Amino acid sequence: MKLRILALLAALLMGAAAPAIAQTAPRAPSVAEEMEVQALLRGGSIQGRITIPDEKAATLIQPEGREWREFHNITLAWVGGIAVLGMLAILLVFRMTKGRIPIEGGPSGRTIQRFNTLERANHWMVASCFIILALSGLNLTFGRHILLPIVGPEAFTAISQWGKYAHNFLAFPFTLGLVVMLLIWLKDNIPNGRDIAWFKAGGGLIGNEHLEAGRFNGGQKMVFWITVLGGAVVAVSGYLLVFPFFFTGMEGMQLSHIIHSLLSVLMIAAMLAHIYIGSVGMDGAFDAMGTGQVDLNWAKQHHGLWVQEELAKGRAAAPPPGAKASGAD
């Protein structure tokens, strides 16, 4: 503030001195230019008074827009491109070197319930919202370079317009799903000592060590916390963007966009790995969120402690129809 006043004073002095000097040589830097330069140097904006109700219009010049442009066009494009393509490359290399992770000893034919209907329904609500939010979001940064030349301007605008509506509306079920996820899965996702051992051993993916894990292993807990915590920040910054200038001013809007977009591309990269390992990357994994029933051998391999707990509760392995309890005859 003090700096601003000083700069203003200096500018005014120069302006006042100008007429006297100017009679001979009108060379003195002018007030406006001086202020503009000063404001640019400080990275500040030039504010004034306005007679229309739109408060934003009182900002005469905001040089911060230049940094935001730099972020949007260069930083975000690079970070997003490296995060998404880099993760795809890592997964491809992983697939080629390690192949699909099999069930040790093959499927047993007996199953155990891993996720109930509420858990699966909520997972797929969040997942489907996330995929559309991710695609419509990526489209805003990369679409004009990739999709626009292919489909042409009219079709690209139609896609982007629908993407914008979808992005705005799906934010709500996405956030609701995150809250439900937090409530139903928090108790199984508290980090503990086994997770440290799990990460040290490279999650049993890089090494071949057999690792004990409860309902969720270290990697799954990480996915959970990335989703819940990352999702919370993305949601809050997203709501600031979807209600423009309602809660914050220009700087807040630019900052919200920066946080929202950076975190989003990182989350997309993380979710690519999650999608890979939950589908084509591992035998028997998809059933957990598909039917909810996983093979007992798969469960023992990846979540041995959880299987023990479930068996102790007597929930496991529905017997074949018609089977009688031993000693019932």
Partner 1 sequence: MARMKFLLDAERCIECNACVTACKNEHEVPWGINRRRVVTINDGKPGERSISMACMHCTDAPCAAVCPVSCFYTTADAVVLHDKDLCIGCGYCFYACPFGAPQYPRLGNFGSRGKMDKCTFCAGGPQADNTQAEYIQYGSNRLAEGKLPLCAEMCSTKALLAGDGQIIASIYRERVQRRGYGTGAWGWRTAYRETVAI
Cα 303 to Cα 115: distance, rounded to the nearest angstrom: 13
Tell me which residue of 210, 221, 192 sits closest to 302, measured CA to CA: 210
| Binding track, positions 158-187, relative to partner 1; x by CB under 8 A | --xx--xx--xx------------------
6, 12, 146, 190: which one binds partner 1 (CB under 8 A) = 12
Cβ contact 292:120 at 8 Å:
yes
Tell me: does residue 58 bind partner 1 (CB under 8 A).
Answer: yes
1, 5, 49, 117: which one binds partner 1 (CB under 8 A) = 49
Tell me: does residue 208 bind partner 1 (CB under 8 A).
Answer: no
User: 274: part of which helix (H) or strand (E)?
Assistant: helix 250-278
Residue with tokens 């990275």: 43
- C-beta atoms surrounding 15 within 10 Å: 16
DSSP 3-state of 2: helix
Smallest distance from the beta carbon of 18 to partner 1, in angstroms? 4
Please report, for residues 215, 238, 261, the alpha-carbon distance to residue 43 in angstroms, rounded to integers and kept in the order given: 51, 26, 23
Smallest distance from the beta carbon of 128 to partner 1, in angstroms? 20
Smallest distance from the beta carbon of 251 to partner 1, in angstroms? 10
Which of 51, 97 has the CB closer to partner 1?
51
183-211 burial, b at 16+ Cβ within 10 Å, e below that, comes to eebeeebeeeebbeebeebebbeeeeeeb
Which of 46, 226 has the CB closer to partner 1?
46
Tell me: does residue 75 bind partner 1 (CB under 8 A).
Answer: no
- C-beta atoms surrounding 1 within 10 Å: 5
Tell me: does residue 48 bind partner 1 (CB under 8 A).
Answer: yes
- Count of chain residues binding partner 1 (CB under 8 A): 69
Smallest distance from the beta carbon of 166 to partner 1, in angstroms? 11
Cα 201 to Cα 95: distance, rounded to the nearest angstrom: 19
The residue type at 263: L
122, 141, 227, 297: which one binds partner 1 (CB under 8 A) = 141
According to DSSP, residue 61 is labeled E
- DSSP string of 282-306? BTTTHHHHTTSEEEHHHHHHHHHHH
- Our measurement of the distance from residue 114's CA atom to the centroid of its chain's CA atoms, rounded to an integer in Å, reads 26
Tell me: does residue 157 bind partner 1 (CB under 8 A).
Answer: yes
- What are the structure tokens assigned to 284, written together? 């028997």
253, 262, 266, 294: which one binds partner 1 (CB under 8 A) = 253
Burial of 326 (0-12, 13-18, 19+ CB in 10 A): exposed
Tell me: does residue 102 bind partner 1 (CB under 8 A).
Answer: no
The residue type at 57: A
Q: Which stretch binds partner 1 (CB under 8 A): 47-55, 97-105, 278-286, 316-324?
A: 47-55
Smallest distance from the beta carbon of 5 to partner 1, in angstroms? 11
Q: Which stretch binds partner 1 (CB under 8 A): 97-105, 124-132, 152-160, 226-234?
A: 152-160
Which residues bind to partner 1, rule: CB under 8 A?
8, 11-12, 15-16, 18-19, 22-23, 26-37, 40, 46-52, 54, 56-63, 65-66, 68-69, 72-73, 139-141, 143-144, 148, 153-154, 156-157, 160-161, 164-165, 168-169, 242-246, 250, 253-254, 257
